[in-house]
């Protein structure tokens, strides 16, 4: 008996097409469901303009295990300077608020507080617009507005790393999990340059 392909019917106008989350979203911890925070959600305000979810996670994970985090964008793809973080437990979320409120990221003082209401729609139009602009820009991240002092310190550390595999390993042993010098505070970079006599 001849088997004919099944007819695929396009969704009617106004219906919603649910697409599976991308690999990038899965890496951030996105499960595809909008679930209540149950006290585990944390608001992070005052983020540097071009901070992305990886940097937010690196900063916040000191307080506990993070199930999901992301930064929020306007409908036109402009960063709002706000992040959403969901911890595994309510106790970890409360610990993050106590420990990381008024902490610093790239020279910006962060406000860390309980997230109120439903979790944000982090897969909305704004994020798609941001990703589209990044794609048209050649797939590169938007430029960082680092202060001149930090720019010089980052350049010194990177030049030192290129000197030899041993020097690169020295930086890796010093910096911990975050290898990119640009994602460290000025004080951390200054400490490294002073300790190891970086010219």
* CA 26 and chain centroid, separation: 13
Higher-confidence residue of 121 and 61: namely 61
Q: Which residues contact 96 (CB under 8 A, 6 or more apart)?
A: 42, 60, 63, 64, 85, 87, 112
Confidence of residue 15 (pLDDT cuts 50, 70, 90): very low
pTM of the entire predicted model: 0.52
| pLDDT recorded at residue 193 | 93
Percentage, residues of the chain above pLDDT 70: 69
From 6-10, 56-60, 104-108, the region with the lowest mean pLDDT = 6-10
CA distance 142 to 159: 23
Number of Cβ within 10 Å of residue 197's Cβ equals 7
pLDDT tens for each residue of 100-118: 999 988 878 999 999 988 8
pLDDT tens for each residue of 124-154: 666 666 666 555 554 444 444 557 788 888 8
Closest to 75 measured CA to CA, from 119, 40, 120 = 120
Burial of 178 (0-12, 13-18, 19+ CB in 10 A): middle
When pLDDT is averaged across residues 28-53 and rounded to a whole number, the result is 72
Closest to 87 measured CA to CA, from 75, 74, 73, 98 = 98
Phi/psi of residue 43, each to 5°? Answer: -90, 135
CA distance 21 to 70: 14
The answer on pLDDT for 92 being more than 90 is yes
């Amino acid at each position: 008996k001849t088997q004919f392909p099944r007819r695929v019917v396009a969704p009617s106008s106004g219906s919603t097409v649910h697409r599976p989350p991308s690999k990038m979203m899965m890496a951030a911890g996105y499960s595809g469901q909008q679930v209540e925070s149950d006290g585990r959600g944390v608001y992070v305000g005052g983020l540097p303009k071009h901070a992305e979810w990886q940097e937010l996670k690196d900063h916040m994970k000191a307080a506990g295990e993070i199930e999901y985090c992301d930064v929020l964008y306007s409908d036109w793809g402009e960063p709002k300077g706000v992040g959403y973080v969901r911890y595994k437990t309510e106790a970890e979320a409360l610990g993050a608020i106590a420990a990381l409120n008024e902490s610093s990221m790239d020279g910006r003082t962060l406000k860390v507080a309980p997230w109120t209401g439903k979790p944000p729609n982090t897969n909305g139009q704004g994020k798609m617009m941001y990703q589209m602009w990044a794609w048209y820009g050649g797939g590169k991240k938007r430029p960082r507005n680092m202060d001149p002092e930090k720019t010089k310190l980052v350049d010194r550390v990177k030049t030192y790393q290129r000197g030899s595999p041993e020097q690169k390993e020295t930086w890796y042993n010093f910096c911990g999990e975050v290898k990119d010098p640009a994602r460290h505070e000025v004080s951390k970079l200054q400490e490294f340059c002073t300790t190891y006599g970086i010219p």
